[in-house]
Amino acid sequence: MSEHLWEQGWKAMSADHGYTWLAEDTKACQGKSVPEWAHYLSERTGMDEHAAADGVIEMVGEAYDRGEVSLIDGALELVQAAATRVPIALASSAPRTIIDRVMATTPVGEYFRATVSSAEVAAGKPAPDVYQEAVARLGAISEGSYAVEDSSNGIRAAAAAGLTVLGIEHPLYPVDRDASDRAAGVFHSLEDVTAVLMSFLDER
């Protein structure tokens, strides 16, 4: 999970330009595409949007290069188990450069048939666009497809696209009640998510 890296980047960039980044700012930007959160950051700091985006992406990329990002417990096992049953795709708010870096440097990369950045569609999460595109690239349909999401806006996006959503809640970023209500379940470990997802897939 890299949510904390983006939050650190937004905070640092804001502090450099006289704005104190708050928890509600993070909540507003989680899941949004780069152009969307760069516009948000620009409105609060007066920065050029492109400079804001480039600065934060560079910070996050450097964190990956320093090895500060690791897969959360159970992520590889979840991906492996799902990929043995159905084709899987990544629907991410990260820019393409970060997605490709993760796919190339972590063991999950070989299992994904398709990856989509929200910068490649009309609107980021909570809009459904990135999930609709991920499903299309797999040659699948939303009905009968499943999503695993770790943010409120991600759950909203996947549900709006017509997928059945399983949420994984991070203690620092609790899932909003309205988003939780749109999920088939919100869990506190990927092991639990994997068990439920595999039961769904095996029933198909």
Residues 88 and 167 in one domain: yes
Residues 86 and 177 in one domain: yes
Give the pTM: 0.83
Residue 1 is which amino acid? M
CATH of the domain at 171: 3.40.50.1000
Q: Is 97 helix (H, G, I), strand (E, B) or coil?
A: helix
Residue 73 is which amino acid? D
Asked whether residue 17 is assigned to any structural domain, the reply reads yes
Number of folded domains in the chain?
2
Residues 109 and 36 in one domain: no
Asked whether residue 70 is assigned to any structural domain, the reply reads no
Residues 80 and 105 in one domain: yes
Residues 108 and 195 in one domain: yes
| pLDDT value of residue 1 | 58
CB-based contact 159:142 (threshold 8 Å)? no
Domain edge (last residue) among 65, 89, 108: 65
Q: Mutual orientation of helices 96-105 and 49-65 as an angle, nearest 10°?
A: 10
Domain edge (last residue) among 65, 88, 109: 65
- DSSP designation for 175: P
In the block, residue with structure tokens 């897939």: 201
Query: What does the pLDDT profile of the chain (204 residues) look like in tens digits?
Result: 577 889 999 999 999 999 999 999 998 998 888 999 999 999 999 999 999 999 999 999 888 888 777 788 899 999 999 999 999 999 999 999 999 988 988 899 999 999 999 999 999 999 999 999 999 999 999 999 999 999 999 999 999 999 999 999 988 889 999 999 999 999 999 999 999 999 999 987
Residues 41 and 79 in one domain: no
Residues 93 and 190 in one domain: yes
> CA 173: distance to chain centroid?
13
**Structural domain containing residue 29:** 3-65
The Cα 121–Cα 144 span in angstroms is: 22
Residues 122 and 191 in one domain: yes
